[in-house]
Structure 1
């Protein structure tokens, strides 16, 4: 697996060289765009707006428009030249509780792997953070922007989450009311939650729609007709308490029959 970013976690005066590797992957079925008349692939070309000439990646430079139709060009070398040593490191700003961070701030997950010579310092940081139940908030420059990071210790490694800044988080699209709920309704809802509680097991969850999509493709290749699945029967419970009661009954496993004591002489 190719490394996505290299740097060093800066922890006080300790520097831990690490490589960041993407921790997730896209496994969705992908489709090509085709011309419906002859089923040929639709291609996209990069064309110069001035002369109409098709260009490739080596002909492209980055330009910032500071006035209409006026640009200043910045090269990749110049982007690197203005980076300080601090920018190149993953600078820990402070430590905090994981529970204090709203999930909306997380963007992308990376595995942090120590480079040669940094293993002991890496393990020391992981163990200390794990024992104290803390995560670290850090910053580094990735690409052409300073990125906010959350460093999270795990049982066997360290995860690094890129984060959004507060200015990047949108407000709620609209306000909504918070109606009063009765104690009985709240108790019933908590009972339903309790009846559905079980440990999180990642391997237990599958993308069922993607499985049906792959099955659809296989059937179309084989020339079979595609039939829509039968519609599921929906309940007609309207009252909230009735719906909660019915949900609890549905969630609870059937009671096992009690076994009586064997009769003497049997």
Structure 2
């Protein structure tokens, strides 16, 4: 499903693209029910002045510029103030991917060229891959400027929306760094290397959601819900011993795999 259409521009080059959402929400959703009779809780939108129930067709955007005073803004008026540049994704500059902290990434889209833009699209992708660079761009989405990272992949291009600097909180949680011995550091490195395998996203499943579905099926069928046996980890007494035991376990797990 196409999320939106746009144009990537840099220099005199314009590449028409379609952006597709790259992720989906698979979480189980619960409805709120009345405790006494299990009836669904409904929420109604009402006018604060006359109390009349309102549907979506009767709702407009309003900005409160003074106490209880609003100016109404239409979608057409919002579109009118957008320049042609703001309707496209303007590439501002290029950068190294590892220069950007993951905290700045918000939502990811898959980009695909529209008819006529295939050659320029592939040229941009292959040039970024060859130089090991990403592009930083900007466009208007909704009612605000949106930063974007244009990231090349072997199979295409990903576009991630980004937060502005003033939207990211400082990492205020500081701690006193204790001394780490060379022996402890080497053992930790050994543990990391013993668990080093290529990333394969298909190996990871949401196990809790699976158990939640099983819970729902159990309740629907009228059976009793049985608690799972939890394996609580023991307290770490000696860091080196814990590291050694972890390395041994990782080696055995790797051999059995």
| Distance in 2 of aligned mates of 1:103 and 1:193 | 21
Question: Is 2:238 aligned against 1:205?
Answer: no
| Distance in 1 of aligned mates of 2:253 and 2:49 | 73
Gaps in structure 2 of 5+ consecutive residues? none
- 1:84-141 residue CA offsets vs partner (Å, 9 max, x unmatched): 0000010000001101010000000001111111111111111111111110000000
Q: 1:249 to 1:79 in 2, by over 3 A?
A: same
Corresponding residue for residue 176 of structure 1: 175
Corresponding residue for residue 41 of structure 2: 42
| Distance in 1 of aligned mates of 2:95 and 2:24 | 29
- 1:29-65 residue CA offsets vs partner (Å, 9 max, x unmatched): 1111111111111111111011111101111111111
SS in 2 for 1:252: helix
Q: 1:255 to 1:161 in 2, by over 3 A?
A: closer
- The offset of 1:156, in angstroms, is 1.2
Which entry has the higher C-alpha Rg, 1 or 2? 1
| Distance in 1 of aligned mates of 2:177 and 2:183 | 17
Equivalences for 1:5-44 in 2 at 5 Å? 5-44=4-43
SS in 2 for 1:39: coil
| Distance in 1 of aligned mates of 2:85 and 2:233 | 58
| Distance in 1 of aligned mates of 2:196 and 2:253 | 16
| Distance in 1 of aligned mates of 2:254 and 2:84 | 65
SS in 2 for 1:9: strand
| Distance in 1 of aligned mates of 2:172 and 2:37 | 44
Q: 1:76 to 1:237 in 2, by over 3 A?
A: closer
Please say if residues 5 and 142 of structure 1, whose CA atoms lie closer than 8 Å, have aligned partners that are also in contact.
Answer: no
Equivalences for 1:223-238 in 2 at 5 Å? 223-238=222-237
Question: Is 2:49 aligned against 1:82?
Answer: no
- The offset of 1:234, in angstroms, is 2.6
What TM-score do you get using the length of structure 2 for normalisation? Answer: 0.96
Q: Which runs of 4+ in 1 moved over 3 A?
A: none
